[in-house]
């Protein structure tokens, strides 16, 4: 029991890398299987994304349409993927991003993960993405 001065913390929206890695394991595994070296980036304002760095140093960031990553296995919001030109240093630069994939608007009953992965893989391969060994994925 809590009183008015001692509220229990709300952990439903608290970002942790472990929770994001667990909830996004299928996406991280699929990108790894495609030859990429995805990572999770925490951005300002509670935003987080899966990051794939390209040969030119730019990056494709993948998150849901609210610019967040899921933190549980609950149904996901539609995905969104943007390419940020310029050298990625952990924060988007001044250049406008290029839309790689945007899922269906609103809450979708269908999981758009496969469609997002297809779009990101095709775009990143064409953009000469870097794999773990600094090589272009086949």
The rounded distance, in Å, linking the Cα atoms of 43 and 22 is: 19
**What mean pLDDT do residues 1-18 have?**
53
In a domain, 138, yes or no: no
pLDDT at 51 exceeding the cut of 90: yes
pLDDT at 117: 92
Is 118 within a domain? yes
Tell me the helix, strand and coil percentages in the chain, rounded to 5: 25, 20, 55
Q: What are phi and psi of 120, to 5 degrees?
A: -65, -45
Residue 106 lies in a domain: yes
Task: Give the other-Cβ count within 10 Å of 137's Cβ.
Answer: 18
Residue 130's nearest CA partner among 82, 60, 81, 62 is: 60
**Domain containing residue 67:** 17-126
Question: Which one-letter DSSP state was computed for residue 127?
Answer: T
User: How high is the pLDDT of residue 9?
Assistant: 37
């Amino acid at each position: 029991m809590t009183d008015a001065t001692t509220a229990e913390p709300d952990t439903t929206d608290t970002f942790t890398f472990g929770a994001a890695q667990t909830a996004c394991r299928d996406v991280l595994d699929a990108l790894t299987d495609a030859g990429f070296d995805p990572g999770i980036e925490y951005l300002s304002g509670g935003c987080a994304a899966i990051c794939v760095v390209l040969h030119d140093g730019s990056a494709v960031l993948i998150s849901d349409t609210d610019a967040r990553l899921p933190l549980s296995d609950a149904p996901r919001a539609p995905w969104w993927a943007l390419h940020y030109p310029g050298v990625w240093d952990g924060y988007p630069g001044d250049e406008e991003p290029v839309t790689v994939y945007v899922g269906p608007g609103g809450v979708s009953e269908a999981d758009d993960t496969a469609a997002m992965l297809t779009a990101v893989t095709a775009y990143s391969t064409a953009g000469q993405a870097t794999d773990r060994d600094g090589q272009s994925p086949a």
